[in-house]
Amino acid sequence: MRYDIPAPMLAKAAASVPDPTKKPMLFEPKWDGFRGLVAWDGETLEIGSRGAKPLTRYFPELVEALPGILPGPCLLDGEIVVATGPDGAQRLDWEALSQRIHPAASRVAKLAVETPAMFIAFDLLAEGDEDLQQHPFRERRARLERMLAGARHPLHLTRTTEDADLARRWLAEFEGAGLDGVVAKPLDDPYAPGKRTLIKIKHARTADVVALGYRVHKSGSGVGSLLVGLYDDSGALRQVGGVAAWSDAMRRKLVDELDPLVERDAGGEAVMGEGERSRFSGAKDVSFVRLRPELVLEVRYDQLEGARFRHTVQFERWRPDRDARSCTFDQLDTVAGYDLADVLE
């Protein structure tokens, strides 16, 4: 048999853990990794992704290990993660995981040994020749638990609870292990490929940051994204992320409003900076228009990864009352460490 890998079921954001008495819910930790759908037909193992790019070639250690662990053909939904750190203080490592998306097979093989991935399973879409997508989640979860009762590393079954208070505790504690929230899943719903029927609850925090440049929108008109920074202990201004999702009207308006802050050369031309590249940017133009570091804005963010915001941040308001030099890393929330081993079951 051969499984058709569907688009994964998605989640919409909520500000708080929902009340399960209104609609039966199962809560899970929200793993910060690559969404993966593992299809094992008894002969070949494939890993589909949230996008169009298959992940199979990037995780040879999973392709090798999982067939020997799975009891039979199946289609699993879950998350691929990488953990680093000493025993007793391990946490998810997004940077190490993202390095796996590399065109060179030799590089992928090297990293598969140095920073091996694991697969966290949280749904069962097919077992043998039986398609389970129309079955309620409570049934799919029960069958997943039976299937993976004897599972071993690098395959793990995500923990769950129906206790909303415990889910709130997970939201607070598990961030210390690199997780980025909690997911609520309706127990009586079928699997809905590509639809946002799940609920994700992530950390929401604010910070005052300095505007240090902007990229022109892909349309060629207006501001596409505003690059922001914070001052470190040495007094250096470090780029920490970007603000996007402006309306068309706001993009055009921002160009005019930011113009007085644009750094210019002796000839009056805007000074361009070269943005940070990643393995996801490819040949994309990452240059930006430099701004004098004077404008302060408040943004919403969910998580810090090293010295950068993990995701694109959201604009909250301008802060003309703040001095740019006061925007330092010290204002950011610190998170107590939590060993990843205590999250895994």
Q: Which residues are annotated as catalytic?
A: 30
Please tell me whether residue 52 adopts helix, strand or coil conformation: coil
Q: DSSP secondary-structure letter at 335?
A: -
In Å, the largest CA–CA distance within the chain is 71
Residues 155, 69: contact at Cβ < 8 Å?
yes
Please tell me whether residue 156 adopts helix, strand or coil conformation: strand
Please tell me whether residue 54 adopts helix, strand or coil conformation: coil
Q: How many CA atoms lie within 13 A of 135 on its CB side?
A: 16
CA distance 199 to 177: 21
- Helix (H), strand (E) at residue 168: helix 164-173
CB proximity list for 282: less than 8 A, separation 6 or greater: none
Q: DSSP secondary-structure letter at 70?
A: S
